[in-house]
């Protein structure tokens, strides 16, 4: 595949993968950062929601902050959708610069028209079911009911699109990990493969904060922290499972790197032990075998041995700091709260 193919891929107006719904395509084409689009949508939807409540003269004052909190959750899923799709495509362009033979994996990111319409219809059905369960259909204010149906539909639509984007990225990442050319002397090029998981981890933590704050508003702060954690399980448990799914392609990549390292080190070890540089003919330094000294070989052996087999190994500290400690702190706080309540 030529360089022009990669350049054409990078010059597209819309991000591949953001083709589920025309309004989202239009938002993506603005070129604005995801957080700006999320903030703008939050302000717009919050304004529409509050105005509908004011115009309809809804007497329940608690609906105002609850509606704004609900809009905050919707806006988060918009940011999640845009950030995942844009981020992975940016990463994929870097991968293609290293190995342009992978240009065809881009097709995995694009859902078919049938899938898109099915997802849009599923979002509407989920919204209607939720409205029935919460008995919102009994709302006396028709305009408020219309806005509520629209907000629920938008929430489920974005959730479904986020799930679709996630699994398409996972399939694409798996294909990349299986096919990307292995070059031990360019191992730093593989660090970009860790970005999808680390990006999702950051968004996951941010989303938990938004949802926790929203649920606190929904319940007027009257529920215990441990109860809130239980109510939030439909959000954070699937997220943890999705994080774990990233290890499937990473383990395949790790196996390929491990095999390449083992073969390379075996040849180098034989050359060092037996003193026969003929064993280096199958290595990456085979062309310069006669010029390589024993000290050079020892240095090369150490360099190959130190190559990380997982692309995120060098960033494990940030993963633990931002990904594991916050939810672990919450769980410990909830357990302490439960223990104190049991003693009272």
Do 169 and 239 fall into the same domain?
Answer: yes
Query: Domain for residue 251, yes or no?
Result: no
Do 233 and 324 fall into the same domain?
Answer: yes
Q: Give yes or no for a contact between 49 and 39, defined as CB atoms under 8 angstroms apart.
A: no
For residue 207, which of 312, 332, 323, 86 has the smallest C-alpha distance?
323
Do 261 and 163 fall into the same domain?
Answer: no
Do 193 and 295 fall into the same domain?
Answer: no
Q: Residue 31, by phi and psi: left (phi above 0), alpha (psi -120 to 50) or beta?
A: left
Do 275 and 187 fall into the same domain?
Answer: no
Query: Domain for residue 199, yes or no?
Result: yes
Do 126 and 28 fall into the same domain?
Answer: yes
Do 280 and 237 fall into the same domain?
Answer: no
Q: How high is the pLDDT of residue 222?
A: 73
> What tens-digit pLDDT sequence spans the chain (344 residues)?
445 544 455 445 568 888 888 999 999 999 899 999 999 999 999 999 988 888 877 777 778 888 899 999 999 999 999 999 999 999 999 999 999 999 999 999 999 889 999 999 999 998 888 877 766 555 556 677 788 888 999 999 999 999 999 999 999 999 999 999 999 989 889 999 999 998 998 899 889 888 888 888 887 767 776 777 777 888 888 888 998 999 999 999 999 999 999 998 988 888 887 777 777 877 888 777 777 778 888 888 899 899 888 888 766 666 666 555 666 665 566 556 555 555 55
Q: How high is the pLDDT of residue 319?
A: 63
Residue 99's φ and ψ, nearest 5 degrees, are -145, 90
Would you call 316 helix, strand, or coil by DSSP?
helix
Do 123 and 103 fall into the same domain?
Answer: yes
Do 87 and 217 fall into the same domain?
Answer: yes
Q: Give yes or no for a contact between 88 and 230, defined as CB atoms under 8 angstroms apart.
A: no
Query: Domain for residue 252, yes or no?
Result: no
Cα 337–Cα 338–Cα 341 angle in degrees, nearest 5 = 85
Q: Give the number of domains in the chain.
A: 2
DSSP letter for each residue of 244-269:
HHTHHHHHHHHHHHHHHHHHHHHHHH
Q: How high is the pLDDT of residue 1?
A: 45
pTM assigned to the model? 0.84
Range of the domain at 284: 257-305
Q: How high is the pLDDT of residue 131?
A: 78
């Amino acid at each position: 595949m030529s360089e022009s193919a990669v350049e054409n891929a990078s010059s597209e107006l819309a991000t591949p993968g953001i083709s589920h719904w025309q309004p989202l395509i239009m938002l993506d084409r603005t070129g604005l950062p995801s957080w700006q689009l999320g903030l703008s949508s939050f302000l717009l939807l919050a304004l529409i929601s509050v105005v509908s409540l004011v115009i309809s003269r809804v007497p329940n004052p608690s609906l105002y902050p609850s509606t704004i909190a609900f809009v905050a959750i919707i806006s988060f899923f918009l940011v999640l959708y845009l950030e995942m799709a844009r981020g992975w495509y940016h990463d994929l362009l870097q991968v293609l610069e290293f190995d342009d033979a992978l240009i065809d994996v881009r097709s995995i990111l694009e859902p078919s028209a049938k899938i898109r319409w099915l997802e849009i219809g599923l979002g509407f059905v989920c919204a209607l079911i939720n409205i029935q369960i919460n008995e919102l259909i009994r709302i006396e204010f028709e305009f408020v009911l219309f806005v509520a149906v629209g907000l629920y539909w938008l929430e489920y639509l974005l959730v479904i699109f986020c799930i679709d984007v996630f699994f398409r990225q996972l399939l694409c990442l798996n294909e990349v990990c299986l096919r990307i050319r292995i070059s031990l002397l360019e191992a730093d090029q593989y660090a970009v493969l860790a970005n999808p998981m680390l990006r999702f981890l950051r968004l996951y933590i941010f989303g938990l904060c938004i949802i926790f704050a929203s649920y606190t508003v929904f319940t007027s702060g009257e529920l215990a922290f441990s109860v809130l954690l239980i109510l939030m399980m439909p959000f954070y448990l699937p997220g943890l499972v999705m994080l774990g799914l990233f290890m499937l392609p990473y383990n395949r990549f790790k196996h390929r790197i491990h095999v390449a390292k083992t073969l390379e080190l075996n040849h180098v070890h034989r050359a060092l032990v037996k003193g026969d540089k003929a064993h280096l003919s199958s290595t990456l330094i085979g062309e310069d075998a006669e010029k390589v000294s024993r000290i050079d070989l020892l240095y090369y052996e150490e360099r190959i041995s130190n190559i990380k087999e997982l692309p995120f190994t060098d960033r494990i500290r940030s993963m633990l700091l931002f990904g594991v400690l916050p939810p672990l702190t919450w769980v410990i706080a909830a357990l302490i709260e439960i223990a104190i309540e049991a003693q009272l």
